[in-house]
Amino acid sequence: MALPPPPTVRLKIRHRAAGLLGFVLALVLLRFPIGRAVVVVTRVKNCVASPASPDEALTAVVAARNAARWFPGRAACLENSLAATFTSLLLRRRLDWCIGARLMPYAAHAWVETGNRPVGEPHTPDRPYLLLLRV
């Protein structure tokens, strides 16, 4: 599934730096089994008290996708959603990292949520995903 284009959000230098560091962390963690990333995100989320507002979450998503534009390899939903989660955590805000799937045709997808609402996703998906994991 192609990601929607990121909205135009003016990023401060600290958001850009957090997005770059979050993207690098995501790339490193995804070289290991996915369970490692789940454990790391869970432990770091326990250290951050404040949930992200929708605007803060959107800023984290845009900052992570902005960093991903410069990556010469694959930067799809899994990489971008984990990078957005780390970006938000580096900015001292919590996001929920979600992984889901659907059948007929089979597809897997990863995204971030705040307040049980997806951030940076199409408002009307063609077919909803069954949530398999929320960290």
Distance CA 12, CA 15 (A): 5
Residue 107 lies in a domain: yes
Q: How far is CA 122 from the centre of its chain?
A: 14
DSSP 36-92: HHHHHHHHHHTT--PBPPHHHHHHHHHHHHHHHTT-SS---HHHHHHHHHHHHHHTT
Reply yes or no on whether the pLDDT at 86 is more than 90. yes
Task: Classify residue 7: in a domain, yes or no.
Answer: no
- Residue range 25-67, pLDDT digits in tens: 999 999 999 999 999 999 999 999 999 999 999 999 999 999 9
C-beta of residue 26 within 8 angstroms of C-beta of residue 83: yes
The answer to the question of residue 2 being in a domain is no
Per the structure, the complete domain to which residue 37 belongs is given by 13-134
In this structure, is residue 110 part of a structural domain?
Answer: yes
What's the pTM value of the predicted model, to 2 decimals? 0.91
Nearest CA to 45 among 100, 109, 117, 113?
113
CA 130 to the chain's CA centroid: 17
Q: Identify whether 46 is part of a domain.
A: yes
Instruction: Say how many domains are in the chain.
Output: 1
